[in-house]
Amino acid sequence: MLPKLTLVLGAAASGKTAWAERLVLGAGPLPVYLATAQAWDAEMQAKIARHRTSRGTGWHTIEAPLDLAPDLGEVTADQVVLLDCVTLWLSNHLLAEHDLDAECDELLRALATCRAPVVVVTNEVGAGIVPENALARQFRQAQGELNQRLAEAADLVVAVMAGLPMVLKGQLPGLRV
């Protein structure tokens, strides 16, 4: 059984989403994929299509690029939610010029009250150089702060590098991942 909240973080193309998908599939028969990506260009359309194909059938997919609380509120205790990913969700809000603090507060409230276990995927964005422009620095700061808040709230935190999990907090449940 998965804990109420699991955070899976890693760099771009680290294997974090594939690892999180296996974790969710190993945890229960009713997986929900809460997708936050928006297909603004052909490259992103192709990436979304690859993700859909690679995860196969058996998932109930909900596309929610901005407002996650209603969908998190509707899942049932016998489901398991994969929220992929909070990085794109935060980017969507930043580009829409929403109040990031208020949006992050609402997300954390929705995660705390969700009846199903939730696995949240996020990017670790603070390991590189300082971005050259103000928008990128604002995003990096907001993402780092959100990741810290999610890690504090999570029962299990796993960093993924090269497809391999490293437990930072809690214990992996006895699942085949």
For the sheet containing 80-84, what is the strand order? 60-63, 31-35, 80-84, 118-123, 5-10, 156-161, 164-169
Q: How many Cα atoms are found within 13 Å in the side-chain-facing hemisphere of 141? A: 10
Other Cβ atoms less than 10 A from the Cβ of 2: the count is 21
The one catalytic residue in 51, 60, 93, 98 is: 51
98 classed as catalytic: no
Helix runs in 10-133, H state only: 16-27, 42-55, 69-74, 86-95, 100-113
- With tokens 């949240």, the residue in question is 120
Contacts of 173 (CB under 8 A, 6+ apart): 1, 2, 3, 27
94 burial class (0-12, 13-18, 19+ CB within 10 angstroms)?
Answer: middle
- Token pair for 28: 């229960």
Catalytic residues: 51
